[in-house]
Amino acid sequence: MPDFRIWLLRTFALLPLPLLHMVGAALGMALSLLPLRLRTMVDINLALCFPDQSPAWRRRLRRKALAHLGRLIFESGKVWHADRRGVAALVRETRGEALIGEALSKGGAIVATPHLGCWEIVGNYLSIHYPLTVLYRPQGGALDRWIRERRQRLGARLEPADQSGVRALMAALRRKELAGLLPDQDPKYGGVFVTHFGRATHTPVLLARLAHKAKVPVILCFAERLAWGQGYRIHFERVPEEVADPDSQVGTQVLSDAVEALIKRYPEQYFWNYRRFRRRPPGEPPLYPRRRHH
C-alpha cells in the first residue's frame, strides 16, 4: 500500500509555490499560538541564543520562525519532486557561486549546508551543476526510500553516515569534487563541545578533520526563502581557512562561529525547534524538559 505521506507530497508538488508558502505560513502562525511542545522547544532555544533580547522580541521571532517552518513543510514535496527545469525555476538567484568554480578548479571543496532556509533546494541545485557526494543517515521505510530516490535523481551520490560514507567523501575530494555535510547537528558519535551562541554545544568534528586532511576550502551554502513564494536565493560563503587547523577543536569552533553569524543574519529562517543543545558537558544540567512517555 502506498505511503499516504508520499501521495501528499506529490500532490503538493503540483501546486504553485506562492500558494504552498501562504498555506504553510498560516499553519505556522497557528502553531505559534498553541501550547505545543514544538513551541516550547522554539522558546527555549530563542531564550538560550538571544538572552539579551526582550521577551516581546523573541515572541515576534518565534512567530516568524514557525511561519517559515510551515513553509518548509509545504514546500518539501515541490522541491523533492522538481526536475532540472523545476529547480531552475525555483532558484531565482545565486550569490558567491564563483567560490565553487574556483575551488573545483584547484582540487574540490566541502559544502556545509546548515538547517537554514530551504536546505533541500541547495542539494538539488548543486547536483545539477557539480559532482556532489553527500552523507545521509537512512531512516528506513517507504517515505525514506522515496526521498532518497528523489535526492539522487539529479546526480548526487548519497552515502551512509558511517565509515564507508566518510571514505566516499574523501574519494570525492580526491577526484576534485564536492563533498556535502550538515554542520549544525548534535552527533551521537564524533563530536566535540565548542561555543555556539555562548553555549557549550556538541558539534560534529568530521568536517574540520576532512578540511585539514584534504586541504580543501569549506563553503557555507544557504537557500534564502524569498517573500511571497517567489523562490530562493542561494548564498555561497567561504568559511575562514582556520577551519582546516590541525587541531580539529579549533577548526570546529571556526565552523561554528561561521554558522552562528549566518543564522544571526536570517534568524527567522532557522530550524529553531531542533534540540541543538540537547547533549551537555559532564556535570551540566539538561536544558530541555524530558519527554513524557504514555
Q: What are the pLDDT digits (tens) for 169-227?
A: 999 999 999 999 999 999 988 899 999 999 999 999 999 999 999 999 999 999 999 99
Which residues, 6+ apart, have CB-to-CB distance to 54 below 8 Å? none
* pLDDT at residue number 161: 86
Q: Where are the domains of the chain?
A: 4-269
pLDDT classification of 2: cutoffs 50, 70, 90: low
d(CA 189, CA 162): 10
- Percent of residues, the chain, with pLDDT higher than 90: 83
pLDDT classification of 1: cutoffs 50, 70, 90: very low
User: pLDDT tens-digit profile of 141-167?
Assistant: 888 888 888 888 898 999 988 899 999
Give the closest residue to 109 by CA, choosing from 172, 158, 166.
172
Mean pLDDT of 120-144: 90
User: pLDDT tens-digit profile of 242-290?
Assistant: 999 999 999 999 999 999 999 999 999 999 999 999 999 999 999 999 8
* pLDDT at residue number 138: 76
Which residues, 6+ apart, have CB-to-CB distance to 225 below 8 Å? 21, 68, 71, 117, 118, 232, 269
| Alpha-carbon distance values, 216 to 173, 175, 207, 249 (Å) | 8, 12, 11, 18
C-alpha triplet 190, 179, 162: angle, nearest 5° = 35
DSSP helix/strand/coil, 289: coil
User: 22 phi and psi, to 5 degrees?
Assistant: -65, -45
Pull the grid cell for residue 68. 517559515
SS3 content of the chain, % helix, strand, coil (to 5): 50, 20, 30
pTM > 0.75: yes or no: yes
Report the 10 Å Cβ neighbour count for 163: 8
Half-sphere exposure of residue 9: CA atoms within 13 angstroms, side-chain side: 20
Q: DSSP secondary structure string, 96-127?
A: STHHHHHHHHHT-EEEE--SBB-HHHHHHHHH
* pLDDT at residue number 176: 96
